[in-house]
């Protein structure tokens, strides 16, 4: 055996374990009891968001000098996994608030931008969104139609955005939007859109969060289309280098895929836990249904998916924190965990039978919620493309 190979059992440190246990307890005792209500009412869980803010969850990966907890991205992932076991809407509110709302400012903002925005966002007293997706733009940056023109020291932004999380709550204060700020020459000599990112406070005249979507799942998560009509913001609201907006956001997506993988792992774990409990309690033909091999094997496969998903996102997070390349591992983690969540939700619904089709049961909500995990922040097909590209295909 090569003694130079370091074996890693992925055993959590005491600090990580304490965080995971604390968030698990919070999820079970505070989040779970109100999840069905918020899902049915399509209402944003302000009381849950406020308590997560008090726990410091929105500041986990940010430095203390900007109001954060001085932790790291893996700590955020552990929190997301525990929350998603019981409520994916709550988990995605945290994930988007940190990964998409605050992280771009932390990574690419000026000192002034960080001082102004990060303390609000890291404390959870305010939320921010990231306006990337449009009707013809998302994975395809070339489809971006929103424009920003520099006039008299101000950016004038016009366009629309779609599917923007945390963009219309009572505490949303900022949305970072991608916009075409000019044209440049591409590698093939043809004109190419210059895409930049611009900070737009939500109280800016001309900014409108339109009516919230009526979604299949994630009903307690805030999601809106946005309209920007002659929105004027100072030229200093440019985030990062001009023309690097989409490139910078790709870095955000690489990290975000690890977070979504953690969330997906939590969803898959939640389906497993509910199925084990129900299989032991539910009696049919004089015995618990878990004694039937067909049910037992189905649940065993669910357990295998959770294990694989967790190892995948732990590996990607470990590489990221060590400063190693992790793009492919992040894509693998999101692919594996997203499919694990969807497969486990489908199998859990089958284990529960008719009750699995009733919305008040957690597995039914997971069944509706989990499909978006194969779509949002990079579709399954995009992950496959990235993995194949790394293989030289």
Is the pLDDT at 361 greater than 80? The verdict is: yes
Q: Using pLDDT thresholds of 50, 70 and 90, give the confidence band for residue 184.
A: confident
Residue 346: predicted pLDDT: 98
> Can you tell me the distance from the alpha carbon of 388 to that of 380, in angstroms, rounded to the nearest whole number?
12
Is the pLDDT at 1 greater than 80? The verdict is: no
Residue 9: predicted pLDDT: 55
What mean pLDDT comes out for the span 194-220?
A: 97
Is the pLDDT at 3 greater than 90? The verdict is: no
What mean pLDDT comes out for the span 76-91?
A: 98
Beta strand 223-234 with 154-165 is antiparallel
Q: Rounded to 5 degrees, what angle do the CA atoms 18, 24, 28 make?
A: 150
Q: Is the CB of residue 90 less than 8 Å from the CB of residue 45?
A: yes
Q: Is the CB of residue 80 less than 8 Å from the CB of residue 40?
A: no
253/126: higher pLDDT: 126
Is the pLDDT at 2 greater than 60? The verdict is: no
Q: Is the CB of residue 88 less than 8 Å from the CB of residue 268?
A: no
What mean pLDDT comes out for the span 178-191?
A: 83
> Can you tell me the distance from the alpha carbon of 102 to that of 117, in angstroms, rounded to the nearest whole number?
8
Q: Which two tokens stand for residue 208?
A: 């409108």
Is the pLDDT at 391 greater than 70? The verdict is: yes
Is the pLDDT at 187 greater than 80? The verdict is: no
Residue 143: predicted pLDDT: 87
Residue 132: predicted pLDDT: 92
Query: Per-residue pLDDT tens for 121-157?
Result: 999 999 999 999 999 877 776 789 999 999 999 999 9
> Can you tell me the distance from the alpha carbon of 168 to that of 156, in angstroms, rounded to the nearest whole number?
21
Average confidence score pLDDT of the chain: 94
Query: Per-residue pLDDT tens for 53-78?
Result: 999 999 999 999 999 999 999 999 99
Is the pLDDT at 50 greater than 90? The verdict is: yes
Is the pLDDT at 194 greater than 80? The verdict is: yes
Q: Using pLDDT thresholds of 50, 70 and 90, give the confidence band for residue 102.
A: very high
> Can you tell me the distance from the alpha carbon of 325 to that of 23, in angstroms, rounded to the nearest whole number?
29
User: Which domains occur in the chain, in start order?
Assistant: 14-125 (1.10.540.10), 128-242 (2.40.110.10), 247-390 (1.20.140.10)
Q: Which residues of 163-187 are buried (b: 16+ CB within 10 A; e: fewer)?
A: bbbbbbbebbbbbbbbbbbeeeeee
Query: Per-residue pLDDT tens for 296-339?
Result: 999 999 999 999 999 999 999 999 999 999 999 999 999 999 99
Of 389, 376, 261, residue with least CA distance to 316: 261
Q: Which two tokens stand for residue 280?
A: 């032991």
Q: Which two tokens stand for residue 262?
A: 């953690």
Residue 137: predicted pLDDT: 79
> Can you tell me the distance from the alpha carbon of 168 to that of 185, in angstroms, rounded to the nearest whole number?
37
Q: Which two tokens stand for residue 227?
A: 């309209």
192 CA to centre of own chain: 30
Q: What residues form DSSP beta bridges with 228?
A: 159, 207
Query: Per-residue pLDDT tens for 239-250?
Result: 999 999 888 888
Q: What dihedral do alpha carbons 135, 141, 147, 148 form, nearest 10°?
A: 140
Q: Please give the positions annotated as active site.
A: 377
Residue 53: predicted pLDDT: 97
Q: Rounded to 5 degrees, what angle do the CA atoms 322, 325, 330 make?
A: 95
What mean pLDDT comes out for the span 106-121?
A: 97
What mean pLDDT comes out for the span 198-218?
A: 97
Q: Using pLDDT thresholds of 50, 70 and 90, give the confidence band for residue 8.
A: low
189/356: higher pLDDT: 356
């Amino acid at each position: 055996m090569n003694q130079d190979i370091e074996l890693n059992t992925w055993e959590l440190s005491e600090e990580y374990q304490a965080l995971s246990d604390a968030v698990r307890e919070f999820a079970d005792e505070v989040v779970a009891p109100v999840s069905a209500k918020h899902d049915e009412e399509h209402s944003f869980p302000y009381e849950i968001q406020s308590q997560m803010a008090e726990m410091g969850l929105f500041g986990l990966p940010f430095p203390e000098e900007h109001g954060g907890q001085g932790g790291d991205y893996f700590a955020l992932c552990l929190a997301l996994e525990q929350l998603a076991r019981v409520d994916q809407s709550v988990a995605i509110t945290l994930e988007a608030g940190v990964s998409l709302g605050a992280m771009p400012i932390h990574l690419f903002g000026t000192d002034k931008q960080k001082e102004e925005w990060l303390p609000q966002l890291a404390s959870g007293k305010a939320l921010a969104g990231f306006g990337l997706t449009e009707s013809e733009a998302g994975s395809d940056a070339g489809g971006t139609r929103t424009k920003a023109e520099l006039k008299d020291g101000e950016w004038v932004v016009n366009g629309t955005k779609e599917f923007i999380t945390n963009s219309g709550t009572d505490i949303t204060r900022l949305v970072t939007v991608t916009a075409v700020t000019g044209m440049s020459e591409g590698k093939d000599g043809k004109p190419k859109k210059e895409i930049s990112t611009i900070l737009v406070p939500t109280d800016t005249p001309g900014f409108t969060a339109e009516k919230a979507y009526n979604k299949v799942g994630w009903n307690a998560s805030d999601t809106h289309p946005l309209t920007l009509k002659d929105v004027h913001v100072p030229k200093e609201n440019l985030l990062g280098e001009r023309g690097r907006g989409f490139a910078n956001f790709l870095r955000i997506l690489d990290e975000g895929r690890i977070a979504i993988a953690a969330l997906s792992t939590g969803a898959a774990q939640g389906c497993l836990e509910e199925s084990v409990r129900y299989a032991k309690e539910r009696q049919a033909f004089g015995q618990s249904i878990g004694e039937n091999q067909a049910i037992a094997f189905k649940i065993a496969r669910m357990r295998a998916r959770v294990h694989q998903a967790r190892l995948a996102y732990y590996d990607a997070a470990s590489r990221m924190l060590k400063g190693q390349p992790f793009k492919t591992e992040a894509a693998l983690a999101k692919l594996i965990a997203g499919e694990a969540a969807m497969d486990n939700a489908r199998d859990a619904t089958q284990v529960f039978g008719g009750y699995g089709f009733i919305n008040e049961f957690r597995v039914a909500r997971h069944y509706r919620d989990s499909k978006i995990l194969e779509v949002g922040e990079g579709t399954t097909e995009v992950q496959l493309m990235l993995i194949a590209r790394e293989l030289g295909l």
